[in-house]
Chains A and B, each alone.
Chain A
Protein backbone atom coordinates (compact mmCIF):
# COMPACT_ATOMS: atom_id res chain seq x y z
CA UNK A 1 0.00 0.00 0.00
CA UNK A 2 1.20 3.51 -0.70
CA UNK A 3 1.29 6.27 1.82
CA UNK A 4 -1.97 7.03 3.54
CA UNK A 5 -2.65 10.68 4.11
CA UNK A 6 -5.81 12.07 5.62
CA UNK A 7 -7.86 13.36 2.74
CA UNK A 8 -8.63 16.55 4.67
CA UNK A 9 -4.97 17.51 4.37
CA UNK A 10 -5.78 18.32 0.75
CA UNK A 11 -4.36 17.08 -2.52
CA UNK A 12 -1.58 19.69 -2.69
CA UNK A 13 -0.36 18.71 0.76
CA UNK A 14 -0.17 15.13 -0.44
CA UNK A 15 1.78 16.01 -3.60
CA UNK A 16 4.02 18.30 -1.57
CA UNK A 17 4.74 15.45 0.83
CA UNK A 18 5.92 13.34 -2.12
CA UNK A 19 8.84 15.66 -2.79
CA UNK A 20 9.98 16.32 0.75
CA UNK A 21 13.56 15.32 1.49
CA UNK A 22 13.51 12.11 3.44
CA UNK A 23 15.97 11.27 6.17
CA UNK A 24 17.40 8.39 4.17
CA UNK A 25 18.15 10.75 1.28
CA UNK A 26 20.02 13.20 3.50
CA UNK A 27 21.96 10.32 5.05
CA UNK A 28 22.78 8.99 1.59
CA UNK A 29 24.28 12.26 0.40
CA UNK A 30 26.20 12.72 3.64
CA UNK A 31 27.57 9.22 3.17
CA UNK A 32 28.95 10.18 -0.24
CA UNK A 33 31.41 12.39 1.63
CA UNK A 34 32.72 9.44 3.64
CA UNK A 35 35.41 8.34 1.13
CA UNK A 36 37.30 11.60 1.78
CA UNK A 37 37.94 10.60 5.38
CA UNK A 38 37.32 6.84 5.55
CA UNK A 39 38.99 5.55 2.36
CA UNK A 40 41.27 8.30 0.99
CA UNK A 41 43.20 5.68 -0.98
CA UNK A 42 40.12 4.81 -2.98
CA UNK A 43 39.12 8.27 -4.21
CA UNK A 44 39.81 7.30 -7.82
CA UNK A 45 37.37 4.42 -7.49
CA UNK A 46 34.92 6.76 -5.77
CA UNK A 47 35.07 9.18 -8.71
CA UNK A 48 34.52 6.27 -11.13
CA UNK A 49 31.47 5.32 -9.09
CA UNK A 50 30.12 8.89 -9.19
CA UNK A 51 30.59 8.98 -12.97
CA UNK A 52 28.84 5.62 -13.37
CA UNK A 53 26.06 6.76 -11.04
CA UNK A 54 25.46 9.83 -13.22
CA UNK A 55 25.45 7.62 -16.30
CA UNK A 56 22.95 5.27 -14.62
CA UNK A 57 20.79 8.23 -13.60
CA UNK A 58 20.63 9.30 -17.25
CA UNK A 59 19.39 5.83 -18.23
CA UNK A 60 16.89 5.79 -15.38
CA UNK A 61 15.23 8.93 -16.76
CA UNK A 62 14.37 7.22 -20.03
CA UNK A 63 14.04 3.58 -18.93
CA UNK A 64 12.74 3.87 -15.38
CA UNK A 65 10.40 6.80 -15.98
CA UNK A 66 9.42 6.84 -19.64
CA UNK A 67 9.81 3.08 -20.25
CA UNK A 68 12.20 3.52 -23.18
CA UNK A 69 14.64 0.63 -23.30
CA UNK A 70 18.19 1.28 -24.46
CA UNK A 71 21.01 -1.16 -25.01
CA UNK A 72 23.27 1.43 -26.56
CA UNK A 73 23.43 4.24 -24.08
CA UNK A 74 27.24 4.14 -24.13
CA UNK A 75 26.96 5.91 -27.48
CA UNK A 76 26.19 9.18 -25.71
CA UNK A 77 28.62 8.51 -22.87
CA UNK A 78 31.35 7.85 -25.41
CA UNK A 79 30.38 10.78 -27.60
CA UNK A 80 30.67 13.10 -24.61
CA UNK A 81 33.97 11.48 -23.62
CA UNK A 82 35.46 11.97 -27.09
CA UNK A 83 34.05 15.49 -27.35
CA UNK A 84 35.74 16.46 -24.08
CA UNK A 85 38.97 14.78 -25.21
CA UNK A 86 39.02 16.50 -28.57
CA UNK A 87 38.26 19.92 -27.09
CA UNK A 88 41.13 19.47 -24.67
CA UNK A 89 43.51 18.04 -27.24
CA UNK A 90 42.96 21.01 -29.51
CA UNK A 91 44.08 23.45 -26.89
CA UNK A 92 41.17 24.15 -24.60
CA UNK A 93 41.63 22.22 -21.34
CA UNK A 94 39.33 24.32 -19.14
CA UNK A 95 37.14 21.63 -17.50
CA UNK A 96 33.83 23.41 -16.81
CA UNK A 97 33.32 24.90 -20.26
CA UNK A 98 34.60 21.65 -21.75
CA UNK A 99 32.00 19.78 -19.72
CA UNK A 100 29.18 22.03 -20.91
CA UNK A 101 30.27 21.81 -24.56
CA UNK A 102 30.57 18.01 -24.39
CA UNK A 103 27.12 17.79 -22.82
CA UNK A 104 25.66 19.93 -25.59
CA UNK A 105 27.40 17.79 -28.23
CA UNK A 106 25.96 14.58 -26.78
CA UNK A 107 22.58 16.27 -26.38
CA UNK A 108 22.51 17.28 -30.04
CA UNK A 109 23.32 13.72 -31.06
CA UNK A 110 20.58 12.49 -28.72
CA UNK A 111 18.11 14.95 -30.21
CA UNK A 112 18.88 13.74 -33.73
CA UNK A 113 18.53 10.07 -32.74
CA UNK A 114 15.36 10.73 -30.72
CA UNK A 115 13.32 11.25 -33.88
CA UNK A 116 13.84 7.57 -34.68
CA UNK A 117 13.63 6.40 -31.07
CA UNK A 118 10.25 8.05 -30.44
CA UNK A 119 8.65 5.92 -33.16
CA UNK A 120 9.43 2.55 -31.61
CA UNK A 121 9.05 0.58 -28.41
CA UNK A 122 10.20 -2.61 -26.72
CA UNK A 123 12.17 -5.13 -28.78
CA UNK A 124 12.56 -2.89 -31.82
CA UNK A 125 14.03 -0.26 -29.54
CA UNK A 126 16.57 -2.68 -28.10
CA UNK A 127 17.75 -3.62 -31.59
CA UNK A 128 17.85 0.01 -32.75
CA UNK A 129 19.86 1.29 -29.81
CA UNK A 130 22.15 -1.72 -29.96
CA UNK A 131 22.80 -1.12 -33.65
CA UNK A 132 23.34 2.57 -33.13
CA UNK A 133 25.87 1.90 -30.36
CA UNK A 134 27.84 -0.55 -32.53
CA UNK A 135 27.73 1.91 -35.41
CA UNK A 136 29.27 4.68 -33.35
CA UNK A 137 31.92 2.35 -31.94
CA UNK A 138 33.09 1.28 -35.39
CA UNK A 139 32.96 4.87 -36.61
CA UNK A 140 35.29 5.92 -33.78
CA UNK A 141 37.48 2.89 -34.51
CA UNK A 142 37.88 3.67 -38.21
CA UNK A 143 38.26 7.43 -37.85
CA UNK A 144 41.62 6.94 -36.16
CA UNK A 145 43.03 10.21 -37.48
CA UNK A 146 40.53 12.02 -35.26
CA UNK A 147 39.97 9.60 -32.38
CA UNK A 148 43.27 7.76 -32.28
CA UNK A 149 41.37 4.55 -33.03
CA UNK A 150 42.30 1.50 -30.98
CA UNK A 151 45.29 3.31 -29.47
CA UNK A 152 43.02 5.80 -27.78
CA UNK A 153 43.10 9.57 -27.89
CA UNK A 154 46.45 10.95 -26.78
CA UNK A 155 47.36 14.40 -25.55
CA UNK A 156 44.36 15.17 -23.38
CA UNK A 157 45.27 17.72 -20.70
CA UNK A 158 42.81 19.09 -18.19
CA UNK A 159 43.58 22.47 -16.71
CA UNK A 160 43.10 22.99 -12.97
CA UNK A 161 39.48 23.33 -11.92
CA UNK A 162 38.54 27.02 -11.56
CA UNK A 163 42.20 27.69 -12.20
CA UNK A 164 43.04 26.55 -8.67
CA UNK A 165 42.49 22.84 -8.11
CA UNK A 166 44.78 20.51 -10.01
CA UNK A 167 43.54 17.05 -10.88
CA UNK A 168 45.86 15.08 -8.61
CA UNK A 169 47.06 11.50 -8.80
CA UNK A 170 44.94 10.40 -5.84
CA UNK A 171 41.63 11.46 -7.34
CA UNK A 172 40.84 14.00 -4.64
CA UNK A 173 39.81 16.77 -7.04
CA UNK A 174 38.36 14.19 -9.42
CA UNK A 175 35.98 12.85 -6.79
CA UNK A 176 34.59 16.10 -5.52
CA UNK A 177 34.30 17.40 -9.08
CA UNK A 178 32.35 14.30 -10.14
CA UNK A 179 30.32 14.31 -6.94
CA UNK A 180 29.22 17.93 -7.28
CA UNK A 181 28.21 17.49 -10.91
CA UNK A 182 26.33 14.31 -9.97
CA UNK A 183 24.54 16.06 -7.13
CA UNK A 184 23.54 19.06 -9.26
CA UNK A 185 22.19 16.88 -12.07
CA UNK A 186 20.47 14.70 -9.49
CA UNK A 187 18.67 17.81 -8.21
CA UNK A 188 17.59 18.62 -11.76
CA UNK A 189 16.35 15.05 -12.26
CA UNK A 190 14.53 15.05 -8.95
CA UNK A 191 12.68 18.22 -9.90
CA UNK A 192 12.00 16.90 -13.37
CA UNK A 193 10.32 13.71 -12.23
CA UNK A 194 8.07 15.65 -9.86
CA UNK A 195 7.02 18.10 -12.57
CA UNK A 196 4.05 17.81 -14.93
CA UNK A 197 6.55 16.60 -17.53
CA UNK A 198 7.69 13.81 -15.20
CA UNK A 199 4.07 12.84 -14.66
CA UNK A 200 3.52 12.58 -18.42
CA UNK A 201 6.62 10.41 -18.78
CA UNK A 202 5.24 8.00 -16.22
CA UNK A 203 1.97 8.07 -18.14
CA UNK A 204 3.80 6.99 -21.29
CA UNK A 205 5.51 4.19 -19.39
CA UNK A 206 2.25 3.00 -17.85
CA UNK A 207 -0.06 3.18 -20.85
CA UNK A 208 0.94 4.77 -24.15
CA UNK A 209 -2.42 3.93 -25.75
CA UNK A 210 -4.36 5.78 -23.09
CA UNK A 211 -2.06 8.79 -23.50
CA UNK A 212 -3.43 9.20 -27.03
CA UNK A 213 -6.99 8.81 -25.79
CA UNK A 214 -6.55 11.72 -23.37
CA UNK A 215 -5.21 13.90 -26.15
CA UNK A 216 -1.52 13.65 -25.27
CA UNK A 217 1.17 13.31 -27.89
CA UNK A 218 3.89 11.04 -26.55
CA UNK A 219 6.54 11.57 -29.20
CA UNK A 220 7.53 15.16 -28.34
CA UNK A 221 7.83 14.08 -24.69
CA UNK A 222 10.03 11.14 -25.63
CA UNK A 223 12.23 13.32 -27.82
CA UNK A 224 12.68 15.79 -25.00
CA UNK A 225 13.60 13.28 -22.28
CA UNK A 226 15.86 11.40 -24.68
CA UNK A 227 17.77 14.61 -25.40
CA UNK A 228 18.07 15.39 -21.70
CA UNK A 229 19.22 11.85 -20.95
CA UNK A 230 21.81 11.90 -23.75
CA UNK A 231 23.15 15.21 -22.45
CA UNK A 232 23.59 13.75 -18.98
CA UNK A 233 25.25 10.62 -20.32
CA UNK A 234 27.61 12.82 -22.35
CA UNK A 235 28.49 14.86 -19.29
CA UNK A 236 29.29 11.64 -17.40
CA UNK A 237 31.59 10.59 -20.24
CA UNK A 238 33.23 14.00 -20.32
CA UNK A 239 34.04 13.82 -16.60
CA UNK A 240 35.71 10.46 -17.21
CA UNK A 241 37.89 11.97 -19.92
CA UNK A 242 38.75 15.05 -17.90
CA UNK A 243 39.64 13.16 -14.74
CA UNK A 244 41.64 10.36 -16.41
CA UNK A 245 43.07 12.52 -19.24
CA UNK A 246 42.65 9.75 -21.75
CA UNK A 247 39.91 8.36 -24.01
CA UNK A 248 39.82 4.79 -25.28
CA UNK A 249 37.33 2.98 -27.49
CA UNK A 250 36.04 1.32 -24.32
CA UNK A 251 33.84 4.35 -23.63
CA UNK A 252 31.67 3.33 -26.59
CA UNK A 253 31.78 -0.40 -25.93
CA UNK A 254 28.65 -2.52 -25.93
CA UNK A 255 29.84 -3.94 -22.61
CA UNK A 256 29.42 -0.49 -21.05
CA UNK A 257 25.79 -0.25 -22.21
CA UNK A 258 25.06 -3.75 -20.92
CA UNK A 259 26.77 -3.10 -17.57
CA UNK A 260 24.71 0.05 -17.20
CA UNK A 261 21.49 -1.87 -17.66
CA UNK A 262 22.68 -4.40 -15.07
CA UNK A 263 23.47 -1.57 -12.65
CA UNK A 264 20.05 0.02 -13.02
CA UNK A 265 18.14 -3.24 -12.70
CA UNK A 266 20.28 -4.20 -9.72
CA UNK A 267 19.55 -0.96 -7.91
CA UNK A 268 15.93 -0.59 -9.04
CA UNK A 269 14.71 1.34 -12.09
CA UNK A 270 12.33 4.26 -11.79
CA UNK A 271 13.47 5.30 -8.32
CA UNK A 272 16.19 7.89 -9.01
CA UNK A 273 18.42 6.37 -6.33
CA UNK A 274 18.33 2.95 -8.00
CA UNK A 275 21.08 3.80 -10.47
CA UNK A 276 23.14 5.41 -7.71
CA UNK A 277 22.89 2.47 -5.33
CA UNK A 278 23.39 0.05 -8.22
CA UNK A 279 26.53 1.88 -9.32
CA UNK A 280 28.00 1.77 -5.82
CA UNK A 281 27.33 -1.94 -5.34
CA UNK A 282 28.34 -2.94 -8.85
CA UNK A 283 31.57 -0.96 -8.96
CA UNK A 284 32.69 -2.02 -5.50
CA UNK A 285 31.80 -5.64 -6.22
CA UNK A 286 33.66 -5.49 -9.53
CA UNK A 287 36.70 -3.95 -7.88
CA UNK A 288 36.66 -6.57 -5.16
CA UNK A 289 35.85 -9.63 -7.32
CA UNK A 290 38.43 -8.68 -9.93
CA UNK A 291 40.98 -8.42 -7.14
CA UNK A 292 40.07 -11.90 -5.90
CA UNK A 293 39.96 -13.48 -9.34
CA UNK A 294 41.00 -11.25 -12.25
CA UNK A 295 39.93 -13.77 -14.87
CA UNK A 296 36.45 -14.91 -13.90
CA UNK A 297 35.15 -11.92 -11.99
CA UNK A 298 31.98 -11.74 -14.07
CA UNK A 299 30.83 -15.01 -12.52
CA UNK A 300 29.81 -13.58 -9.13
CA UNK A 301 28.30 -10.55 -10.90
CA UNK A 302 26.09 -12.97 -12.83
CA UNK A 303 25.07 -14.72 -9.64
CA UNK A 304 24.28 -11.37 -8.04
CA UNK A 305 22.13 -10.29 -10.97
CA UNK A 306 20.16 -13.54 -11.06
CA UNK A 307 19.64 -13.42 -7.31
CA UNK A 308 18.36 -9.85 -7.41
CA UNK A 309 15.98 -10.46 -10.31
CA UNK A 310 14.65 -13.66 -8.69
CA UNK A 311 14.17 -12.37 -5.17
CA UNK A 312 13.89 -8.61 -5.62
CA UNK A 313 12.11 -8.08 -8.95
CA UNK A 314 12.09 -4.31 -8.43
CA UNK A 315 15.77 -4.17 -7.60
CA UNK A 316 17.47 -3.63 -4.28
CA UNK A 317 15.66 -0.34 -3.64
CA UNK A 318 12.33 -1.90 -4.59
CA UNK A 319 12.97 -4.61 -2.02
CA UNK A 320 13.80 -2.07 0.66
CA UNK A 321 10.69 -0.04 -0.16
CA UNK A 322 8.58 -3.17 0.23
CA UNK A 323 10.21 -3.90 3.57
CA UNK A 324 9.42 -0.39 4.75
CA UNK A 325 5.83 -0.69 3.55
CA UNK A 326 5.29 -3.87 5.54
CA UNK A 327 7.02 -2.42 8.56
CA UNK A 328 5.16 0.88 8.45
CA UNK A 329 3.00 1.17 11.48
CA UNK A 330 5.47 -0.89 13.44
CA UNK A 331 7.62 2.23 13.38
CA UNK A 332 10.82 0.36 12.63
CA UNK A 333 11.80 2.28 9.56
CA UNK A 334 9.34 5.14 9.71
CA UNK A 335 12.11 7.63 10.37
CA UNK A 336 13.70 6.74 7.05
CA UNK A 337 10.77 7.79 4.95
CA UNK A 338 9.59 10.91 6.76
CA UNK A 339 11.87 13.87 7.32
CA UNK A 340 13.05 14.16 10.93
CA UNK A 341 11.65 17.65 11.46
CA UNK A 342 8.18 16.72 10.24
CA UNK A 343 7.65 13.67 12.38
CA UNK A 344 4.71 13.67 14.69
CA UNK A 345 5.30 12.76 18.29
Chain B
Protein backbone atom coordinates (compact mmCIF):
# COMPACT_ATOMS: atom_id res chain seq x y z
CA UNK B 1 0.00 0.00 0.00
CA UNK B 2 1.23 3.45 -0.82
CA UNK B 3 2.09 6.10 1.75
CA UNK B 4 -1.02 7.77 3.20
CA UNK B 5 -1.56 11.40 2.16
CA UNK B 6 -2.03 12.38 5.79
CA UNK B 7 -1.43 10.34 8.91
CA UNK B 8 -1.21 10.91 12.63
CA UNK B 9 0.02 8.59 15.34
CA UNK B 10 -0.45 8.86 19.08
CA UNK B 11 -1.54 12.49 18.91
CA UNK B 12 -2.19 13.90 22.40
CA UNK B 13 -3.40 17.29 23.55
CA UNK B 14 -4.70 18.48 26.87
CA UNK B 15 -5.78 21.86 28.17
CA UNK B 16 -4.95 21.62 31.86
CA UNK B 17 -6.71 18.50 33.04
CA UNK B 18 -9.08 18.44 30.07
CA UNK B 19 -8.02 15.86 27.51
CA UNK B 20 -9.08 17.10 24.07
CA UNK B 21 -7.10 14.61 22.00
CA UNK B 22 -6.09 11.17 23.18
CA UNK B 23 -3.63 9.06 21.16
CA UNK B 24 -5.27 9.81 17.84
CA UNK B 25 -4.02 7.72 14.97
CA UNK B 26 -5.52 8.07 11.52
CA UNK B 27 -4.25 7.38 8.03
CA UNK B 28 -5.94 8.95 5.02
CA UNK B 29 -5.09 7.33 1.67
CA UNK B 30 -4.71 9.69 -1.25
CA UNK B 31 -7.89 10.89 -2.95
CA UNK B 32 -10.31 9.51 -0.37
CA UNK B 33 -13.27 11.52 0.97
CA UNK B 34 -13.31 11.20 4.72
CA UNK B 35 -15.98 12.54 7.02
CA UNK B 36 -15.14 13.28 10.63
CA UNK B 37 -18.20 13.10 12.84
CA UNK B 38 -18.92 13.10 16.53
CA UNK B 39 -20.99 14.92 19.11
CA UNK B 40 -20.20 18.52 20.10
CA UNK B 41 -17.00 18.73 22.10
CA UNK B 42 -15.64 15.48 20.73
CA UNK B 43 -12.49 17.29 19.60
CA UNK B 44 -13.04 17.42 15.84
CA UNK B 45 -11.96 21.03 15.34
CA UNK B 46 -9.13 20.51 17.84
CA UNK B 47 -7.87 17.68 15.66
CA UNK B 48 -7.89 20.00 12.63
CA UNK B 49 -6.08 22.67 14.66
CA UNK B 50 -3.46 20.12 15.66
CA UNK B 51 -2.95 18.84 12.15
CA UNK B 52 -2.68 22.34 10.62
CA UNK B 53 -0.32 23.58 13.33
CA UNK B 54 -2.66 26.10 14.94
CA UNK B 55 -2.20 24.06 18.12
CA UNK B 56 0.94 22.26 19.20
CA UNK B 57 0.40 18.65 20.28
CA UNK B 58 1.71 17.42 23.65
CA UNK B 59 2.77 14.19 22.01
CA UNK B 60 2.56 12.19 18.82
CA UNK B 61 3.39 12.67 15.19
CA UNK B 62 1.80 14.14 12.08
CA UNK B 63 2.92 12.89 8.68
CA UNK B 64 2.08 14.54 5.38
CA UNK B 65 2.87 12.22 2.50
CA UNK B 66 5.17 10.27 4.81
CA UNK B 67 7.08 13.40 5.85
CA UNK B 68 7.10 14.45 9.52
CA UNK B 69 5.50 17.90 9.78
CA UNK B 70 4.82 17.88 13.54
CA UNK B 71 7.07 20.85 14.27
CA UNK B 72 6.42 22.95 11.16
CA UNK B 73 4.61 26.31 11.28
CA UNK B 74 1.07 26.53 9.87
CA UNK B 75 2.43 28.46 6.86
CA UNK B 76 4.96 25.76 6.04
CA UNK B 77 2.30 23.06 6.25
CA UNK B 78 0.11 24.97 3.82
CA UNK B 79 3.04 25.31 1.44
CA UNK B 80 3.47 21.54 1.58
CA UNK B 81 -0.17 21.01 0.71
CA UNK B 82 -2.10 20.68 3.97
CA UNK B 83 -4.83 23.30 3.88
CA UNK B 84 -7.96 24.00 5.90
CA UNK B 85 -11.13 26.06 5.79
CA UNK B 86 -12.89 27.56 8.79
CA UNK B 87 -16.17 26.72 10.48
CA UNK B 88 -16.78 30.43 11.05
CA UNK B 89 -16.03 32.45 7.91
CA UNK B 90 -12.50 33.78 8.04
CA UNK B 91 -12.31 35.90 4.89
CA UNK B 92 -11.02 39.28 3.75
CA UNK B 93 -14.14 41.46 4.16
CA UNK B 94 -13.01 44.46 2.12
CA UNK B 95 -11.37 42.53 -0.70
CA UNK B 96 -13.48 41.16 -3.49
CA UNK B 97 -13.31 37.44 -4.32
CA UNK B 98 -11.14 38.04 -7.38
CA UNK B 99 -8.59 39.96 -5.31
CA UNK B 100 -8.71 37.47 -2.45
CA UNK B 101 -8.13 34.40 -4.61
CA UNK B 102 -5.46 36.20 -6.66
CA UNK B 103 -3.76 37.10 -3.39
CA UNK B 104 -3.60 33.43 -2.43
CA UNK B 105 -2.16 32.45 -5.82
CA UNK B 106 0.47 35.23 -5.67
CA UNK B 107 1.52 34.05 -2.22
CA UNK B 108 1.65 30.45 -3.43
CA UNK B 109 3.74 31.33 -6.49
CA UNK B 110 6.02 33.51 -4.38
CA UNK B 111 5.40 36.67 -6.33
CA UNK B 112 3.72 38.42 -3.41
CA UNK B 113 6.76 40.55 -2.66
CA UNK B 114 7.00 42.28 -6.02
CA UNK B 115 5.79 45.84 -5.69
CA UNK B 116 7.00 47.28 -8.99
CA UNK B 117 4.62 45.28 -11.21
CA UNK B 118 0.88 45.60 -11.03
CA UNK B 119 -1.26 42.57 -10.26
CA UNK B 120 -3.14 42.74 -13.56
CA UNK B 121 0.15 42.04 -15.36
CA UNK B 122 0.25 38.57 -13.84
CA UNK B 123 -2.30 37.29 -16.32
CA UNK B 124 -1.85 33.60 -15.49
CA UNK B 125 -2.47 34.21 -11.77
CA UNK B 126 -5.57 36.31 -12.42
CA UNK B 127 -6.93 33.80 -14.95
CA UNK B 128 -6.41 30.95 -12.53
CA UNK B 129 -8.20 32.89 -9.79
CA UNK B 130 -11.08 33.61 -12.09
CA UNK B 131 -11.32 29.95 -13.16
CA UNK B 132 -11.47 28.80 -9.54
CA UNK B 133 -14.24 31.32 -8.83
CA UNK B 134 -16.08 30.24 -11.96
CA UNK B 135 -15.94 26.59 -10.94
CA UNK B 136 -17.53 27.56 -7.61
CA UNK B 137 -20.20 29.71 -9.29
CA UNK B 138 -18.71 32.89 -7.85
CA UNK B 139 -17.71 34.51 -11.15
CA UNK B 140 -20.78 36.78 -11.35
CA UNK B 141 -20.01 38.33 -7.96
CA UNK B 142 -16.22 38.29 -8.17
CA UNK B 143 -15.87 42.08 -8.20
CA UNK B 144 -18.13 42.65 -5.22
CA UNK B 145 -16.66 43.15 -1.80
CA UNK B 146 -16.67 39.94 0.22
CA UNK B 147 -18.71 41.45 3.06
CA UNK B 148 -21.55 42.10 0.60
CA UNK B 149 -21.82 38.49 -0.55
CA UNK B 150 -24.63 36.19 0.54
CA UNK B 151 -23.68 33.82 3.35
CA UNK B 152 -23.72 30.76 1.11
CA UNK B 153 -21.40 32.51 -1.34
CA UNK B 154 -19.02 33.34 1.49
CA UNK B 155 -18.94 29.65 2.42
CA UNK B 156 -17.99 28.85 -1.17
CA UNK B 157 -15.28 31.53 -1.06
CA UNK B 158 -13.86 29.78 2.01
CA UNK B 159 -13.31 26.74 -0.20
CA UNK B 160 -12.06 28.85 -3.12
CA UNK B 161 -9.30 30.37 -0.96
CA UNK B 162 -8.20 26.93 0.16
CA UNK B 163 -8.29 25.50 -3.37
CA UNK B 164 -6.13 28.35 -4.69
CA UNK B 165 -3.23 27.04 -2.59
CA UNK B 166 -3.28 23.82 -4.68
CA UNK B 167 -3.77 21.56 -1.67
CA UNK B 168 -2.89 17.89 -1.51
CA UNK B 169 -4.98 17.41 1.59
CA UNK B 170 -7.99 19.61 2.29
CA UNK B 171 -9.57 19.86 5.73
CA UNK B 172 -13.05 21.35 5.63
CA UNK B 173 -14.42 22.43 9.00
CA UNK B 174 -18.20 22.23 8.68
CA UNK B 175 -18.36 23.59 5.14
CA UNK B 176 -22.16 23.76 5.24
CA UNK B 177 -22.42 25.31 8.72
CA UNK B 178 -25.24 27.82 8.82
CA UNK B 179 -26.21 27.33 5.19
CA UNK B 180 -29.95 26.73 4.77
CA UNK B 181 -30.83 23.28 3.44
CA UNK B 182 -32.19 24.49 0.15
CA UNK B 183 -28.95 26.36 -0.57
CA UNK B 184 -26.56 23.59 0.39
CA UNK B 185 -26.84 21.92 -3.03
CA UNK B 186 -24.17 24.24 -4.44
CA UNK B 187 -21.83 23.38 -1.61
CA UNK B 188 -22.49 19.70 -2.10
CA UNK B 189 -21.68 19.99 -5.81
CA UNK B 190 -18.54 21.99 -5.04
CA UNK B 191 -17.18 19.42 -2.61
CA UNK B 192 -18.29 16.48 -4.71
CA UNK B 193 -16.54 17.78 -7.80
CA UNK B 194 -13.20 18.48 -6.13
CA UNK B 195 -10.29 16.93 -7.99
CA UNK B 196 -9.77 13.26 -7.10
CA UNK B 197 -6.08 14.02 -6.50
CA UNK B 198 -7.06 15.93 -3.39
CA UNK B 199 -7.60 14.02 -0.18
CA UNK B 200 -10.53 15.52 1.71
CA UNK B 201 -11.37 15.30 5.38
CA UNK B 202 -14.49 17.16 6.37
CA UNK B 203 -16.33 17.76 9.62
CA UNK B 204 -20.06 17.89 9.15
CA UNK B 205 -23.16 17.62 11.27
CA UNK B 206 -25.57 17.25 8.38
CA UNK B 207 -25.78 13.44 8.20
CA UNK B 208 -27.36 13.48 4.79
CA UNK B 209 -24.36 15.36 3.42
CA UNK B 210 -21.99 13.03 5.25
CA UNK B 211 -23.49 9.86 3.88
CA UNK B 212 -23.72 11.21 0.34
CA UNK B 213 -20.19 12.62 0.16
CA UNK B 214 -17.95 10.45 2.28
CA UNK B 215 -16.42 7.18 1.19
CA UNK B 216 -15.21 6.58 4.73
CA UNK B 217 -16.23 7.98 8.11
CA UNK B 218 -14.27 8.52 11.33
CA UNK B 219 -16.27 8.82 14.53
CA UNK B 220 -14.76 10.79 17.42
CA UNK B 221 -15.96 10.77 21.01
CA UNK B 222 -14.45 12.80 23.86
CA UNK B 223 -11.01 13.32 22.34
CA UNK B 224 -10.52 9.83 20.97
CA UNK B 225 -11.44 7.85 17.90
CA UNK B 226 -14.35 5.50 18.46
CA UNK B 227 -14.19 3.79 15.11
CA UNK B 228 -13.60 4.16 11.42
CA UNK B 229 -15.39 2.54 8.55
CA UNK B 230 -17.54 2.80 5.45
CA UNK B 231 -20.82 4.72 5.73
CA UNK B 232 -22.74 1.43 5.81
CA UNK B 233 -20.62 0.07 8.66
CA UNK B 234 -20.95 3.30 10.62
CA UNK B 235 -24.70 3.45 10.14
CA UNK B 236 -25.05 -0.14 11.34
CA UNK B 237 -22.78 0.13 14.37
CA UNK B 238 -24.71 0.13 17.63
CA UNK B 239 -22.04 2.13 19.48
CA UNK B 240 -22.33 4.98 17.00
CA UNK B 241 -26.08 4.96 17.35
CA UNK B 242 -25.72 5.17 21.06
CA UNK B 243 -23.24 8.06 21.34
CA UNK B 244 -24.02 10.02 18.27
CA UNK B 245 -27.21 9.13 16.54
CA UNK B 246 -28.96 8.97 19.88
CA UNK B 247 -30.25 5.45 19.31
CA UNK B 248 -32.67 6.60 16.63
CA UNK B 249 -32.49 4.79 13.33
CA UNK B 250 -31.03 6.85 10.53
CA UNK B 251 -31.60 6.79 6.79
Stretch at the interface among B7-15, B84-92, B191-199, B213-221: B84-92
Select which of B84, B99, B107, B115 is within 8 A of A192 by beta carbon.
Answer: B115
CB distance from A234 to the nearest CB of B (A): 18
The answer to whether B118 touches A5 (Cβ under 8 A) is no
Assembled-state Cα–Cα distance A292/B94 (Å): 42
Which residues of B (40-96) have their CB < 8 Å from a CB of A? 52, 73-76, 78-79, 83-84, 86, 90-96
Cβ of B103 < 8 Å from any Cβ of A?
yes
Known: A7-B142, A199-B102. A212 touches B148 (CB 8 A): no
Assembled-state Cα–Cα distance A5/B142 (Å): 10
Assembled-state Cα–Cα distance A193/B242 (Å): 56
The answer to whether B111 touches A196 (Cβ under 8 A) is yes
Cβ of B120 < 8 Å from any Cβ of A?
yes
By beta carbon, the residue of chain A nearest B107 is: A216
By beta carbon, the residue of chain A nearest B127 is: A11
Assembled-state Cα–Cα distance A5/B140 (Å): 10
Cβ of A213 < 8 Å from any Cβ of B?
yes
The answer to whether A196 touches B123 (Cβ under 8 A) is no
The answer to whether B161 touches A214 (Cβ under 8 A) is yes
Which residues on B sit within 8 Å (CB–CB) of A1?
Answer: 144, 148
Cβ of A152 < 8 Å from any Cβ of B?
no
Known: A12-B126, A19-B120, A214-B161. A197 touches B145 (CB 8 A): no
Cβ of A221 < 8 Å from any Cβ of B?
yes
The answer to whether A14 touches B92 (Cβ under 8 A) is no
Cβ of A191 < 8 Å from any Cβ of B?
yes
Cβ of A160 < 8 Å from any Cβ of B?
no
| Most A-side CB within 10 Å, residue of B104, B142, B164 | B104
The answer to whether B74 touches A213 (Cβ under 8 A) is yes
Select which of B106, B142, B145 is within 8 A of A196 by beta carbon.
Answer: B106
Known: A196-B119, A199-B103, A200-B103. A213 touches B84 (CB 8 A): yes
Stretch at the interface among A108-116, A123-131, A201-209, A255-263: A201-209
Known: A16-B120, A200-B103. A215 touches B78 (CB 8 A): yes
Known: A2-B145, A4-B143, A14-B98. A19 touches B118 (CB 8 A): yes
Select which of A3, A12, A217 is within 8 A of B123 by beta carbon.
Answer: A12
The answer to whether B83 touches A196 (Cβ under 8 A) is no
Which residues of A (173-215) have their CB < 8 Å from a CB of B? 191-192, 194-200, 202-203, 206-207, 209-215
Not counting A195-B114, A214-B107, a sample of 20 additional A-B residue pairs whose C-beta atoms are within 8 angstroms of each other reads A4-B143, A7-B139, A7-B140, A7-B142, A11-B98, A11-B127, A15-B118, A15-B119, A15-B126, A19-B120, A197-B112, A197-B114, A202-B95, A207-B91, A212-B73, A213-B52, A213-B74, A213-B83, A214-B161, A215-B107
Q: Could you write out 15 A-B pairs with CB less than 8 Å apart?
A: A15-B119, A191-B116, A192-B115, A195-B114, A195-B116, A195-B119, A196-B102, A196-B113, A199-B102, A203-B100, A210-B92, A213-B84, A214-B162, A215-B75, A216-B112
